[in-house]
Structure 1
Amino acid sequence: MKKGLLSLVGIASIFILGACGSSSKSGTSSSSGESKTTDAADQWSKIEKAGIIKVGTSADFAPFEFHAMVNGKDQIVGADIDMMNAIGKELGVKVEYVDMDFNAVLASLEQGQVDIAVSGISATDKRKKTFNFSVNYFSPEQLVVVNKANTNKYTTLDSLANKKVGAQKGSIQESIVKDQLPDSQIVSLAKVPNLMVELKQNSIDAAVVESAVAKSYVAQNDDLAIADAKLETSEGDAYAIALPKGSTKLTEKIDTILKKMIEDGTIKEYVQKNTDLANENASK
């Protein structure tokens, strides 16, 4: 037990500092909406003039965005971060990251506090009503993580009926639990590491987590395992960069760069590189 908790502390040092809300309120008047659209249409010109693009993220979602010690300094790293740094270089602007809880990321984008949002965000139909999205750059698998002692107990989705199932608040995983495990009791927490602590302490019975994140935790904690219970995936689960509604020019510029990175395998390389980095840092 001590070994498991020490391992979790190692991971928490990476993850608890902040990857992917289900929706944002858009109760603005029509005139306000038109003003926002007008501002968004001119967004690229403002970013280009300032020379900085401000990115909202939640750095508790390794391997996509997380904190790690690099050359003795705490830094935000991850596949999304490498991707955005490359995009910023192509655009000719400096990338500035604003770290926050995941359920505040899209709200901050809508309120104009950041220019774009990159945090393992799924481009759902509901979100597309409020935001522009880039092309999808990564299609994740969703997995169920359980206490290793319960792997034979939770082998199907039906076996999780009336059980406590955790998900990150405001994430696509929260929606998946509600849709695919309607008979379970959902437990929504702000950060993924908190879910794993609850799971290790048997305060919850399972947690729905993106595959790369799930595998990283399981690799570092002998008392956790991936259950055989299979969840369905959809196109709406895929990750994309979120932008203000109407920010057409910036969306087009980002899409051009992203498509090249997808085609040449750069995105996959970033995910693998940062999966290894997360596991390496967690084991220290």
Structure 2
Amino acid sequence: MKKVFFILTFILTGLLAACGTASEDNANQEEANNTENNNSETAESDGQKWNQIEEKGEIIVGTSGTLIAASTYEEGTDKLTGYDVEIMREIADRLGLEVKFEILGIDGMLPAIQSGRIDVAVNDIEVTDKRKKQFAFSDPYKYSYTTMVVRKGDYSGINSLEDLEGKRAGGGATTIFSQIAEHFGAEVITYGNAPNEAYLRDVDNGNTDVIVNDYYLSKFGVAAFPDFDIMLHPELKFHPTEQAVVMPQEATVLQTKINEKLAEMRDDGTLSELAIQFYKEDASKKPEGEIEEIEGLDL
């Protein structure tokens, strides 16, 4: 009887062990299938934006059309041009795509990427850690730093970043430059998608005191309106920046495609040629000299 009981116990144990192995095998297989499906979905998501663009043969690019030297209209025409615009034209051409520009205010560009209204945006948009949590960026095509447009004579009473306290600074609501101005206590006056002239005229006539902005854009803005009593601050050079193409965070295939073409353009001199054409300096390379870093900015 003991022998029979032992045999039955052995058989039952074997059956239970077999069931356990089958369950584990099923669980492992299910996990493997889920992993494979997730990887497949990720790959599909990564490539979806590029596939859509390639299928229609067109990339939709958000830009302002109001940014001197970067995104603007040729005088007296409706032709959109500028450093950022021509870079995107060249990238699209090398990818075998048509390019369509959608004119938007800077404050509407990033939301337009998220909604799918546009595929990418170029408008001298700075790469920051906070933005990289929501968007993907190409490799930089422009390197610069930040300065100020002030009134001649007294520099609008500004001799340091700390002197921004209590000043009125013209700028876009969501720009990094406005965040810098606010960080140092300035009141930011916003304009929507207004042309450069509106910002600069207000500094000239005293409606505002200062514009905190990119060095290259500020230089060309001031030069374009010689009758205004304004200038670049000669002593303030701070917050080094990198500008790039912005796109949806998951669009890694599109990001790779754009980076490949930017690398080609850097190697064959196209980026330098375009930078010198529009900025009279090679903005595709990092500027020389000491540039003050600003601590405590949450960018």
On the 8 A contact 1:83/1:267 being kept in 2, the answer is yes
1:118 aligned residue: 122
2:187 equivalent among 178, 185, 203: 185
1:206 equivalent among 203, 210, 220: 210
CA distance in 2, matches of 1:160, 1:93: 45
- 1:61 correspondence with 2:63: no
Report sequence identity in percent: 26
- 1:227 correspondence with 2:233: yes
On the 8 A contact 1:168/1:188 being kept in 2, the answer is yes
On the 8 A contact 1:164/1:206 being kept in 2, the answer is yes
1:174 equivalent among 178, 181, 198: 178
CA distance in 1, matches of 2:151, 2:43: 47
Listed as ranges, the matches of 1:118-267 within 5 Å are 118-151=122-155, 153-179=157-183, 182-190=184-192, 191=194, 192-220=196-224, 221-222=226-227, 223-234=229-240, 237-267=241-271
Deviation at 1:165, TM superposition (A): 2.0
Deviation at 1:169, TM superposition (A): 2.5
**CA deviation map 1:3-41 (0-9, x unaligned):** xxxxxxxxxxxxxxxxxxxxxxxxxxxxxxxx9995553
**CA deviation map 1:136-195 (0-9, x unaligned):** 11112211001113238422223332221222222221122223xx23222233234322
| Residue type of the alignment partner of 1:121 | I
Q: Give the match's secondary structure for 2:239.
A: coil
TM-score (norm 2): 0.73
How many equivalent residue pairs?
236
Is the alpha carbon distance of 1:174 and 1:153 closer, same or farther for their aligned partners in structure 2, counting shifts above 3 Å? closer
Unaligned runs of 5+ in 1: 1-34, 277-284
Is the alpha carbon distance of 1:76 and 1:154 closer, same or farther for their aligned partners in structure 2, counting shifts above 3 Å? same
Deviation at 1:254, TM superposition (A): 0.4
On the 8 A contact 2:109/2:121 being kept in 1, the answer is yes
Query: Larger relative CO (CA 8 A, sep 6+): 1 or 2?
Result: 1
Deviation at 1:213, TM superposition (A): 1.4
Unaligned runs of 5+ in 2: 1-40, 281-299
TM-score (norm 1): 0.76
Is the alpha carbon distance of 1:55 and 1:37 closer, same or farther for their aligned partners in structure 2, counting shifts above 3 Å? farther
- 1:83 correspondence with 2:93: no
C-alpha RMSD of matched pairs (Å):
2.2
2:13 aligned residue: none
| Residue type of the alignment partner of 2:179 | S
CA distance in 1, matches of 2:199, 2:47: 39
On the 8 A contact 2:46/2:253 being kept in 1, the answer is no
